[in-house]
Amino acid sequence: MSEPILSLEAVETDIAQYHILKGVSLSVPRGQVTMLLGRNGVGKTTTMRTIMGLLRNKAGQIRFDGAEISGELASSRCRAGIGFVPEDMGIFSALTVEENMILAAVSGAPDRARLDWLFTVFPPLKTFWKAPAGTLSGGQKQMLSIARAMIEDRKLYLIDEPTKGLAPAIVSTMVGALRELKRQGASILMVEQNFAVARALGDHCVVMDDGRATWSGAMADLATDHALQERLMGLSMEAG
């Protein structure tokens, strides 16, 4: 088995004076989808932001693609190959869809073929190419946020709750797109509250509680074990 694309070792992060991550250890295998699960407020988003470098860990190690990156800026981490879809989508609403995409293509102009592929996955982006991103619907903004992370090939994608607040029809578009990304061999770490979605996409999962990773294993094991779900996440989530 090859070295994981990402591994965290006893990572601790404070936000202001609050001790939020109290020692998170987890690893994300290459070419697979790892789900980060857990109740609201356990520190999933904080973990994602710490990996991206938007928050600094005060202790522990973050190894990405063989190198320790704790001291790197977020911009360097992106250039090293981490794509980020934040929980709030991080859309630049004053910029057009096109401008959002141009900005996301950090190493030059967006690749035409890649763009055409994204248009087939997310047709509204083509329809509203010249529109200010602020005028898009919630689902379209999420599509833009994911497409932005995908406009260039990244070694790892961090995707924080991509289906939050979306209508079921749009959720299925989203799942289709992420499945396509997965089929191409991308490594993904994804936070997902919708267990049906988590189950449909995830190979592995890591469950967090109170600033720590408390369980990790195969998605299949968690999906079939309702008692385990109950114990880890406090409620039995119906597999859809």
Q: Measured from the CB of residue 203, what is the shortest distance to other proteins in angstroms?
A: 23
Q: Report the nearest approach of other proteins to the CB of residue 59 (Å).
A: 22
Cα–Cα separations (whole angstroms), residue 136 to 35, 125, 129, 145, 165: 28, 9, 10, 12, 14
From residue 80 to residue 119, the character string flagging contacts with other proteins as x (rule: CB under 8 A) and all else as - is: ----x-x-xxxxxxxx---x--xxx-x------------x
Cα separation, 23 vs 8, whole angstroms: 9
Helices in the chain by DSSP H: which ranges? 44-52, 74-80, 97-104, 112-121, 123-127, 138-150, 168-183, 195-201, 219-224, 226-233
Choose, by CB under 8 A, the member of 172, 193, 214, 236 that binds other proteins: 172
- Structural tokens at position 239: 């597999």
Q: Is there binding between residue 176 and other proteins (CB under 8 A)?
A: yes
Binding site for ligand ADP (CB under 6 A): 15-16, 18, 20, 38, 40-46
Residue 53: φ, ψ to 5°: 100, 10
Residues forming the site for other proteins (CB under 8 A): 52-54, 73-75, 78-79, 84, 86, 88-95, 99, 102-104, 106, 119-124, 126-128, 131, 134-137, 139-141, 148, 167, 169-170, 172-173, 176
